Amino acid sequence: MVTDEQAADALIAEHAAPIHGGSGEVGVLLCHGFTGTPWSLREWAEYLIGAGYRVSVPLWPGHGTTWQQLNDTTWQEWYAAAETALRELRQQCDTVFVGGLSMGGGMALRLAERQGSDIRGLVLVNPAIALSDKRLLVLPVLSRFVPSLAAISGDIAKPGADEYGYRRTPLKALLQQTRMWLDIRSNLDRVDQPILMFRSEQDHVVDPTSARLIQEGVSSAEVTERVLTRSYHVATMDYEAEDIFAESAEFFGRHSARAAEAEDA
């Protein structure tokens, strides 16, 4: 007999496929969030492909399977998958941008820290690089004895939308994410690319701490914050998703044109 958890895992796996499409000269790497899958970015990817961009949305190790498998992975493995996807996109495109949702926003920042001029700009949607929740202080000990806790999944205001993420938060993996956050925060000053950041006023997963730290820590001359008033955490599937899609496409187009002008000068 199939349990409810097994049925949920099977449904997640059905919606976990990486996304690759488009044939444009400008590439966009989109990074999904912790316990999520590329499904949460599917409509964004389709919009950008329709706008003429080449788009890649990889699946991170341990995601799209079971939360138990995610507990057996490290943040370095997730980041290595992002680097591989970026390298493959760079082989196909002269100009590359990176976008990310939640932990994927943090992943985008770390790529910018490490890859420098290979990335022309970032679009961050409710990026996560910190939480002010003091319970994280006990996570190193708690994760040794408690495998998982109930997750805040599907934080979407729009009825009927489902991101197909894990229904439980694996604590060893969450500890890995916090360690990645420390690494990202310690190198924020390396980020000098233009940034377009979307932040939901009502986000039940990530508090405003991350957005503040990003704005204060990066060296970028251009950091634009857009506040979303009708969307929750998974804003790429929420009421203002079309605004994110259209404004990001305009951002990519504007900065890819500047990159081309600089090369011709």
More confident of the two residues 4 and 148: 148
So what's the pLDDT on residue 198? Answer: 99
Question: What is the Cα 173 distance to its own chain's centre?
Answer: 16
- What is the rounded CA–CA span in Å between residue 202 and residue 227? 10
- Enclosing domain of residue 121: 4-264
Of the pLDDT bands very low, low, confident and very high (cuts 50, 70, 90), residue 263 is low
* CATH number of 236's domain: 3.40.50.1820
Neighbours of 246 (CB within 10 A): 12
- Please say if the pLDDT value at position 80 is more than 70: yes
pLDDT in tens, 117-154: 899 999 999 999 998 887 788 888 888 999 999 887 78
User: pLDDT for 180-194, tens place per residue?
Assistant: 999 999 999 999 999
pTM of the predicted protein model: 0.95
Give the pLDDT score at 264.
Answer: 58
Q: How many domains does the chain have?
A: 1
Residues noted as catalytic:
102, 203, 233
